[in-house]
Chains A and B, each alone.
Chain A
Amino acid sequence: MRVSRALMARYAFCYLMLAIPTALFVVFRIIPIARTLQLSTLNWDLISPAKPFVGLGNFRELLLDPNFQLALSNTTIFAAVTVTASVVLALLVALPLARGVRLEGLYQLLYFLPFVAPTVPEAVAWKWICDTRYGVLNYLLSLVGLGPVSWLTEPRATLWAVIIMSVWKTLGYNMILFIVGLRAIPAEYTEAALIDGAAGWRHFRSITLPLLMPTVLLITVISTIAAYNVFTQVYVLASDIQGSPAGLVRVLIYDIFENAFRFYRMGYASAEATVFFVIVLGLTLIQFRVLRSQTE
């Protein structure tokens, strides 16, 4: 079979176009991951040319490190609550907006604004919102008779303050994805369900939700990865002199950052990053398996 020159040129063009992003992906993703895996077996201080091989020594130390255990626990609590709350709340907000309500654009803007705004100034504003004595959050609680909460000095409360802020920030993004997903559901299904008498909750449970599962899967995976990567909010809300139980609200990225760039323990931080990578990869695969089975 003879292949024409034009077809060959087209193939060459396609492979070239595929090769460029593949090369970028290899350079900026695959090689750093491989390098991190390699570094995790070394004892390197970022400065010294000597990098002695320590095998699995960094991983053994990690398992016994109370800071790592605390960071893992805090990050898991944060991710579980933030992902659940932001997915459920975003869906609740998206349902009426997808149908089209008055001032729909304004509502979408209001919910989406925190997502596009920079996190650092937002976190600084939340520090004031969460102030024990003068914060709006405690003022609102006082209206319903609840006592003041030390949002930024009590470790558990601080974690909740970070969770509340993060849900507020990610809600708008998830909402937009849900609106797109809801509007993509063919109108015939809804009409057929209504003719068959399925309305309200039954319609939502039997028609909308199953058809929305690919969107739910997408949002859950994106939100979980983002939640495990939490850093800025924790760094600003819980890591300076005025407001923070500091190390007690440590999360994984904070711990990796501290080990790498404050203690100059690049090998140890790389081992931590490797464990972190495996956890997020595992969770993503589980989510794909569980949620995809419901979409098929």
Chain B
Amino acid sequence: MGRQGAHWPGVVLILILAVVVISAPAGRAAPAVEVSIWGGYPEIAPIYQRAAEAYQQAHPNVKVTVLTTDIRDYERKLAASLPSDTAGNILEVEAPTVERYIEAGLIPKAPPDIAQFVRSRSFNASAQEAASVGPDVYGVPWFAGVGALYYNTEMFKEAGVAGPPQTMDELMAVAKKLVKVDAQGRVVRSGVSLRLFGAGSGVAEKFAILMWPRGGELLTRNAQGKYKAGYDNDAGRATLKMHIDAVFVNKVDSLDIKHDAESFELGQTAMFERESWVIGDIQKNAPTLKYQTAAIPRDQRWGTIVGSVSLYTSRSAKNPDVAWDFVKFLTQPQFERQLLQEVGWIPLRQDVNFDPVIAKFPQYKGFLIRDPKYVYWSMPNIKDFDEIETKLAARLVAAYRDATLAGNAAGIANVLHTAAGETNTILKRDGLYGE
């Protein structure tokens, strides 16, 4: 007993110290306003962080927190947190995804001064449209995934090819010169790496990028704003034939080798189509790779895809005026240039001079073509689009490995006709179909 009693003064002393520490005034005043920004592209987090620090210096009463996760997790996080009003204050959202949230009233309209900024000459029409629904502006265009053709300049030199292909026909002709096979006739280096397999919608998106110059599109929109499949036609058939011929007839690509950015970085393909983030990826993984980028080859039309991401506020944002002020701060030229140089996504402000970045990384040229004939087109912003693309992708993947489709025009037509039927059924289910 006596021993236990001897501990009391020590315990009392610790308690007093704890109370003093807890109740002591902080070294500096706690920020009065907290703003959070959420995103699905972790590679952008350092830019957000830098902007947050700069903003906090200018506004000491504001604390900006940054939370980024990978895109699929982020989409699920948004789906769970927006309806329950627990989402961040500022949200990065892709154009096709945002529509459902706006429809449900979870993302409010931007205030008039922000709407005016978006409608200004700082953004082109496509970017403005991506951040708006009809006449109403909901977000500030931030960056875009723009497609371009990557090509390995050393392989081109070695094969005696002067420059990147200008037309879709040239694409295959050049690929034939660039492909390498081993003694057993197996492709060890593809002339062009097409998206022949993979999860989700990417296969259909890449198909659409190569079909668009031929006049096709995944969905065509009528005057009433309704949609139907736009690939069950000559453009779609020619594009599917090109993929099947690439594997089974011309053998410029193979199902058994690596594809996409990894393949390009490993020197296992001479050409492929991708967004600008690959430039940053190459800096990290293959800094000695000799390559350039070019416009997507033309056919009946000339252009590339733009997948826009804009910044919005959630309806539950407690300090929307501060959130919008930070969005405006973030879209200043210095952060836009950092986004291009350090991350590789294409910033959407068109009034910013990116020449210093392009001088350092000329590969960005292929993504910033200013030719008025070069069209930057977008996929439709409808809620069913991911399902439509994903289901078409599954059919395309099956078709790309079907050798019986080589030289089989009727078979190719049937694949696309059946797929288009499925697309139209999904549109009809949700009242979005129209001839």
CB-contacts of B44-84 with A (<8 A): 72, 75-76, 79, 82-83
The answer to whether residues A258 and B256 also contact, given A46-B79, A48-B104, A241-B202 and a CB cut-off of 8 A, is: no
User: Are the CB atoms of B260 and A263 closer together than 8 Å?
Assistant: no
User: Are the CB atoms of B386 and A262 closer together than 8 Å?
Assistant: yes
User: Are the CB atoms of A245 and B262 closer together than 8 Å?
Assistant: no
Tell me which of B259, B390, B398 contacts A258 (CB under 8 A). B390
**How many angstroms between the C-alpha atoms of A240 and B197 in the bound complex?**
9
Please name 24 pairs of A and B residues whose Cβ atoms are closer than 8 Å in the assembled complex, sorted by A: A45-B100, A46-B79, A47-B82, A47-B83, A148-B256, A153-B255, A155-B401, A238-B199, A239-B200, A240-B198, A241-B202, A241-B259, A242-B260, A242-B262, A245-B397, A246-B197, A246-B199, A246-B393, A246-B394, A247-B393, A247-B394, A261-B75, A262-B200, A263-B390
Q: Which residues of A contact B100 (CB under 8 A)?
A: 45, 47-48, 264
The 10 closest A-B pairs by CB, nearest first: A247-B394, A239-B199, A241-B198, A263-B387, A246-B199, A132-B256, A241-B260, A153-B255, A47-B104, A48-B104
Q: State the interface size on chain B (CB cutoff 8 A).
A: 36
User: Are the CB atoms of B197 and A244 closer together than 8 Å?
Assistant: yes
B195, B259, B397 interface centre (most CB from chain A within 10 Å): B397
* Any A CB within 8 A of the CB of B144: no
Q: Which residues of B contact A62 (CB under 8 A)?
A: none
**How many angstroms between the C-alpha atoms of A240 and B258 in the bound complex?**
12
The answer to whether residues A153 and B393 also contact, given A239-B199, A241-B202, A261-B79 and a CB cut-off of 8 A, is: no
- B 254-282 to A, binary, CB cutoff 8 A, 1 in contact else 0: 01111110100000000000000000000
Q: Which residues of B contact A246 (CB under 8 A)?
A: 197-200, 203, 393-394, 397
- A 242-263 to B, binary, CB cutoff 8 A, 1 in contact else 0: 1011111000000000100111
Residue of A nearest to B202 (CB): A241
* Any B CB within 8 A of the CB of A67: yes
**How many angstroms between the C-alpha atoms of A150 and B255 in the bound complex?**
8
* Any B CB within 8 A of the CB of A105: no
Residue of B nearest to A131 (CB): B258
**Minimum distance in angstroms from A177 CB to a CB of chain B:** 35
- A 212-250 to B, binary, CB cutoff 8 A, 1 in contact else 0: 000000000000000000000000001111101111100
**How many angstroms between the C-alpha atoms of A248 and B398 in the bound complex?**
8
* Any B CB within 8 A of the CB of A118: no
**How many angstroms between the C-alpha atoms of A239 and B201 in the bound complex?**
11
**Minimum distance in angstroms from B240 CB to a CB of chain A:** 17
Q: State the interface size on chain A (CB cutoff 8 A).
A: 29
Q: Tell me if A's interface is mostly helix, strand, loop or mixed.
A: loop
* Any A CB within 8 A of the CB of B335: no
* Any B CB within 8 A of the CB of A49: yes
* Any B CB within 8 A of the CB of A292: no
**How many angstroms between the C-alpha atoms of A293 and B195 in the bound complex?**
53
* Any A CB within 8 A of the CB of B103: yes
B106, B199, B255 interface centre (most CB from chain A within 10 Å): B199
- A 144-166 to B, binary, CB cutoff 8 A, 1 in contact else 0: 00001010011100000000000
**Minimum distance in angstroms from B349 CB to a CB of chain A:** 30
**How many angstroms between the C-alpha atoms of A46 and B80 in the bound complex?**
8
**How many angstroms between the C-alpha atoms of A263 and B398 in the bound complex?**
21
Tell me which of A132, A150, A239, A262 contacts B387 (CB under 8 A). A262
**How many angstroms between the C-alpha atoms of A49 and B84 in the bound complex?**
11
User: Are the CB atoms of B195 and A47 closer together than 8 Å?
Assistant: no
Q: Which residues of A contact B354 (CB under 8 A)?
A: none
Tell me which of B103, B258, B260, B394 contacts A67 (CB under 8 A). B394
User: Are the CB atoms of A153 and B197 closer together than 8 Å?
Assistant: yes
User: Are the CB atoms of B257 and A261 closer together than 8 Å?
Assistant: no
Q: Which residues of B contact A133 (CB under 8 A)?
A: 256-257
**Minimum distance in angstroms from A219 CB to a CB of chain B:** 33
Tell me which of A49, A241, A247 contacts B390 (CB under 8 A). A247
CB-contacts of B378-400 with A (<8 A): 383-384, 386-387, 390-391, 393-394, 397-398
**How many angstroms between the C-alpha atoms of A133 and B255 in the bound complex?**
12
User: Are the CB atoms of B103 and A48 closer together than 8 Å?
Assistant: yes
Tell me which of A47, A148, A245 contacts B106 (CB under 8 A). A47
**How many angstroms between the C-alpha atoms of A22 and B163 in the bound complex?**
72
Q: Which residues of A contact B202 (CB under 8 A)?
A: 241
* Any A CB within 8 A of the CB of B329: no
* Any A CB within 8 A of the CB of B101: yes
Given contacts A47-B82, A246-B203, 19 further A-B contacts (CB under 8 A): A45-B383, A46-B83, A48-B103, A133-B257, A150-B255, A150-B256, A153-B255, A238-B199, A240-B198, A241-B198, A241-B199, A241-B202, A245-B197, A245-B401, A247-B393, A258-B390, A262-B200, A262-B386, A263-B387
**Minimum distance in angstroms from A264 CB to a CB of chain B:** 7
**Minimum distance in angstroms from B329 CB to a CB of chain A:** 29
**How many angstroms between the C-alpha atoms of A244 and B262 in the bound complex?**
14
